[in-house]
Amino acid sequence: MTNKVKTQTKTIDFMGLRRSATIISGVLILIAILSLAFKGLNLGVDFTGGSVIEMGYPSNANVDEIRKTLEKAGYSASVQAFGSDKDILIRLAPDKTQANQNNLSKAVVDTLKKHTPGVEMRRVEFVGPQIGDELRDQGGIAMLLALAGILIYVTLRFEFRFSVGSVIALLHDVVITLGFFSLTGIEFDLTILAAILAIIGYSLNDTIVVFDRVRENFIKIRKLSTEDSINTSINQTLSRTIVTSLTTLLVLVALYLFGGEVINGFALAMIVGVIIGTYSSIYVASGSLLMMGVTREVLLPPVPDETEAFDQENAP
C-alpha cells in the first residue's frame, strides 16, 4: 500500500502555477466582459425575430453577388453559404407584423428569381420579435437554474466551498465562451445556447472527477499538505482528463469541418468550451479551493475525545 502511494506522487506542480493561471483567466474574463458590454452578441433570428429563407441554385451560388443584388433592390439581409455550394441562407430583420414579414420574404425571393432563373425556394421560417425575446429570456433562466442546481448538488455531495469553486469555474467557462462569440461576431443562435449548456455539463463532470479524487486523497494520504494533496489528485486524474478531452475534440473538429453550416456554430462553441473547461477544472476550480482555505479537516469526520470514547465503550 505504501509503494502505491509513492508511485502516485505529483509530477507536475499545477498549483505552483495557479497565480499565473489566475492572471491569464482574469485577463480573458476582462476582455470578454468588455466585449459583451460594448459590442454585445450578434444575436440570430432565434432571439431577435425575423425571417430565414433557404434558396437552392442550379449551379454554384455566388454569395457576394447575391448580397449585392439584394442591396441594390433595397433589402438589408444577411447572406451565407448553407450546406452545399448551391444552397444559401438569407436572414431578414424583423418587420412589424408577420403579414409584412411574409410579403418581404416573397419580394426577396422574387428578386432573386428574376436575377437568376431556375433558383428555388426551399423553406421560409418566421420568428416574431416577442417569441425571440421569450427564447432569450428562457435561455438565460435555464442557465441560471442549471448553475443553482449544480450549487446544491455539489454542496450535498462534498461541501459548500467545493460547490462555490465549481460554480466559479463554470461561470469562468461561460463568460469566456460568450466573449469569444462577441469578439468574433459569429451569429449566436439557439444551437450555440444549447452548446453553452452542454459545456456546463462537460466542465462540471471534469471538475467532479478532480474533486472526488481530492476528497479521497484527503482521507488516504494525511501526511501531505492541502496544496500537495490537490496537486497529487490532479496528476492522478490527468490522463483521464486528457484522453476524454482529446477524443471529444476529435469529434467536434470533424463536425466543424464536415458538418455543414447548421452544426458549425454548435461545434465551434463546444470546441472553445472543452478547451476552456479542461483548463478551468485544473486551475480555476482546484485553485479556488486553496483560495477559500479548504483543508482535509473539512471533509474528515470529527474524532471523539477520550471522554466521549470512554462513554461510548461503557454504554449499556
pLDDT digits (tens, 9 = 90+) for 139-149: 778 778 877 87
| Whether residue 164 has pLDDT greater than 80 | yes
CA distance 145 to 140: 9
CA distance 312 to 316: 9
| Confidence class for position 75, pLDDT limits 50, 70, 90 | confident
Instruction: Give the chain's domains with CATH numbers.
Output: 8-41+132-298 (1.20.1640.10), 50-127 (3.30.70.3400)
| Whether residue 310 has pLDDT greater than 50 | no
CB atoms within 10 A of CB 293: 9
pLDDT at 253: 92
pLDDT at 205: 83
**What DSSP assignment string belongs to 38-49?**
HT---B-HHHH-
Higher-pLDDT residue of 241 and 312 is 241
Beta bridge partners of 78: 91
Mean pLDDT within 219-237: 80
CB atoms within 10 A of CB 296: 17
The alpha carbon of 259 is separated from its chain's Cα centroid by a whole number of angstroms, namely 19
CA distance 174 to 163: 16
Strands (E), 30-188: 50-56, 77-82, 84-92, 120-127
Q: Which backbone phi and psi does 54 adopt, to 5 degrees?
A: -105, 125
Q: What is the pTM of this model?
A: 0.75
pLDDT at 52: 79
Give per-residue pLDDT as tens, 89-98: 777 766 654 4
| Confidence class for position 6, pLDDT limits 50, 70, 90 | very low
